[in-house]
Chain A
Amino acid sequence: MVTGYGPVERLVRLWLPVGFFLVLALFPFYWMAITSLKPNFELYSRRAMPLIVHNPTLKHYIDLLTETSFLTWTWNTMLVAVVSTAISLILGVMLAYPLARMRFAGAGLIAMTVAAIYLVPQPLLFIPLADLINRLGLGNTLTAVILTYPTMLVPFCAWLLLGYFKTVPMELEEAARIDGASRLQTMRRIFLPLCTPGFVSAGIFAFTLSQNEFLYALIFLTKSAVRTVPVGVIAELIRGDVFYWGQLMAGALLGSIPVAIIYSFFVEHYVAGLTSGSVKG
């Protein structure tokens, strides 16, 4: 739609705003990266020009990996994210398939309930959940977060998949039914293999959401050996009033990389998932 503008107008209409938003979006990450590479004397110097690194060093990374349990936290974060995403996808399909394909009394009510639960924010539930987790004896176990993350991920996956399932044509399933397949067989053998893009979208989203989760992890995981990256970084690299800025930034950067890599492979799926809920219809 925008064609035929001169270079000046193109600069004002396109490059200035795009450049502004790009710098705004990326500057904190640039800052994270260069801070993590600065030696302490440069970090806390009031004279050195702060926007570039004068004496790059990997000391903060080495300290982070050798003096803290950062690798354990990374492993915990990955494990929790993968398992809770898998659980959420499976339970999400079990909710979404009947809602998308079957006619039964109460379907509308269930769909509304699932949407409403997706919108219930964690701060409304964390106090009773903390008590429940304690009573179950699950404090300081990864099971505590693997069980509680799906409470937000299942409704989310179900909702996203429901939208996707409705776009899949029904002819193949009808043909399978005519050939004598049961409903379960039709779903597992015919329908689900058609839905891989939907699973990828929901899976990526659920994965980034569980990497981002902080409140439950902060409450349920208070020992270093079971912490996730966000909680570990906040709880162990800030001791009282002492901030280990170099290590904090190294940890923040390393902690962001897995999500960023996975995201970069599936950007299109991610955007599709992001926009599917609101743009359709």
Chain B
Amino acid sequence: MSVRSEPLLRAARPARRTTALGVWLDRQSVFSWLMMAPPLLFLAALVGYPFCYGILLSLQDRPVAHTGTFIGLKNFATNFNDPIFWRVALNTFVYTAVATLLKMVGGLALALAMNQQFPLKNLMRALMLLPFIVPTVLSTVAWMWILDPAFSVLNWLLVAVGVPKPGPSWLGNPMLAMLSIIMINAWRGLPFYGITLLAGLQTVPPELYEAATIDGASGWQRFRYVTLPLLQPIILIVTLFSVIFTFADFQLVYVLTHGGPQNATQLFATYAFDIAMGAGQLGLGASVALAMLPALALLIVALTIYLRRE
């Protein structure tokens, strides 16, 4: 094999590959598609196919372990006339909106607090991320015990500061149950926001703050007119991510409340699970899951386009 100096790539190619097959395999498009074929086939089989099959299922009356019968849009009509379905839709939107807002505000506060010089900063950052690392189900078990109807440590603390005994029934009262799942979701997602925004804060050039200070900007003005505009793209991306995964949340609610009391915390994912796995109505369950699609598709397309533009 010879080494030529110019013109680099094009000149080298004929010397390198002698067989026709070798030359063909070395073409960029051939190499790329051959390389990508296995993962793409895998994704087509286990994401693409189930996705299409799910749409087909939603158009069927399909009890588990039976063959399905095509019933058109009847499942969607059933959902449309089901008051629980609308309750679920409302729950999901409230849950997503409030939890995301909490994570955004809390995460920003966390990032600003952590963006100062102090000893053991890296250790603190590592510890702060723990809620996000530990498997959700396992930390939710701890929360379930913290909010236990009879032995809640939170109520023990509340009673100690003067709240009348026995304290609120966190998971038994519909409003409080919704509040509980929102708080725990925010607790788990907050570090993700905080650490990502912290990384963003660290890319803000200090000269900008110095210039703003020289121009007489107050601390709030520096935050409002320097920090926030520079963080805006990151906030947008993190929020879209968070909205998508909060909207489709399953495990936290399944473990903590099972959707109760009286469907007060039932979300699309848990309701679809109950119908499909609990009641064995695969078709109806698939139609409930697909009801998430319009909102999700909008979010996914928005985020994908935004990521591509970068």
Chain B residues 120-160 with CB under 8 Å of chain A are 122, 124-131, 133-139, 141-143, 145-146, 151, 153, 156
The docked-state distance in angstroms from the alpha carbon of A281 to that of B29 is: 27
Residues of chain A within 8 A of B272, CB atoms compared: 123, 126-127
Tell me if B50 counts as interface (CB < 8 A to partner A). yes
Residues of chain A within 8 A of B146, CB atoms compared: 28, 31
* B62 to A, closest residue via Cβ: A131
Chain A residues 113-140 with CB under 8 Å of chain B are 114-117, 119-132
Residues of chain B within 8 A of A123, CB atoms compared: 248, 250, 268-269, 272-273, 289, 292
- The answer to whether A116 and B153 have CB atoms under 8 Å apart is no
The docked-state distance in angstroms from the alpha carbon of A95 to that of B209 is: 42
Residues of chain A within 8 A of B292, CB atoms compared: 121, 123-124
- The answer to whether A278 and B46 have CB atoms under 8 Å apart is no
- The answer to whether B28 and A255 have CB atoms under 8 Å apart is no
Tell me if A164 counts as interface (CB < 8 A to partner B). no
Please judge, given known A-B contacts A147-B46, A151-B47, whether A281 and B310 are in contact too, CB under 8 Å: yes
- The answer to whether A21 and B110 have CB atoms under 8 Å apart is yes
Chain A residues 16-33 with CB under 8 Å of chain B are 17-18, 21-22, 24-26, 28-29, 31-32
Tell me if B32 counts as interface (CB < 8 A to partner A). yes
Residues of chain A within 8 A of B237, CB atoms compared: 277-278
Please judge, given known A-B contacts A31-B145, A35-B145, A259-B134, whether A22 and B36 are in contact too, CB under 8 Å: no
Residues of chain B within 8 A of A219, CB atoms compared: 277
- The answer to whether B285 and A127 have CB atoms under 8 Å apart is yes
- The answer to whether B141 and A252 have CB atoms under 8 Å apart is yes
- The answer to whether B36 and A129 have CB atoms under 8 Å apart is no
The minimal Cβ–Cβ distance linking A68 to chain B, given in whole angstroms, is 14
Tell me if B296 counts as interface (CB < 8 A to partner A). yes
Please judge, given known A-B contacts A103-B28, A108-B308, whether A31 and B153 are in contact too, CB under 8 Å: yes
Tell me if B245 counts as interface (CB < 8 A to partner A). yes
Tell me if B161 counts as interface (CB < 8 A to partner A). no
Q: How many interface contacts (CB-CB < 8 Å) are there between A and B?
A: 312
Residues of chain A within 8 A of B206, CB atoms compared: 1
Chain A residues 173-224 with CB under 8 Å of chain B are 174, 177-184, 208, 211-212, 214-215, 218-219
The minimal Cβ–Cβ distance linking B47 to chain A, given in whole angstroms, is 5
Secondary structure call for the A interface: helix
- The answer to whether B293 and A127 have CB atoms under 8 Å apart is no
Chain B residues 43-81 with CB under 8 Å of chain A are 43, 46-47, 49-51, 53-54, 57
Candidates A22, A126, A128, A263; contact of B133 at CB < 8 Å: A263
The docked-state distance in angstroms from the alpha carbon of A75 to that of B259 is: 31
Candidates B118, B238, B248; contact of A122 at CB < 8 Å: B248
Chain B residues 1-59 with CB under 8 Å of chain A are 1, 3-4, 8-9, 12, 15-17, 22, 25-26, 28-29, 31-33, 35-36, 38-40, 42-43, 46-47, 49-51, 53-54, 57
The minimal Cβ–Cβ distance linking A222 to chain B, given in whole angstroms, is 10
Residues of chain B within 8 A of A29, CB atoms compared: 130, 134, 139, 142
Residues of chain A within 8 A of B299, CB atoms compared: 119
- The answer to whether A32 and B42 have CB atoms under 8 Å apart is no
A72-97 vs B, Cβ < 8 Å mask (1 yes, 0 no): 00000000000000000001101101
Closest 3 A/B residue pairs (Cβ): A121-B248, A123-B269, A98-B32
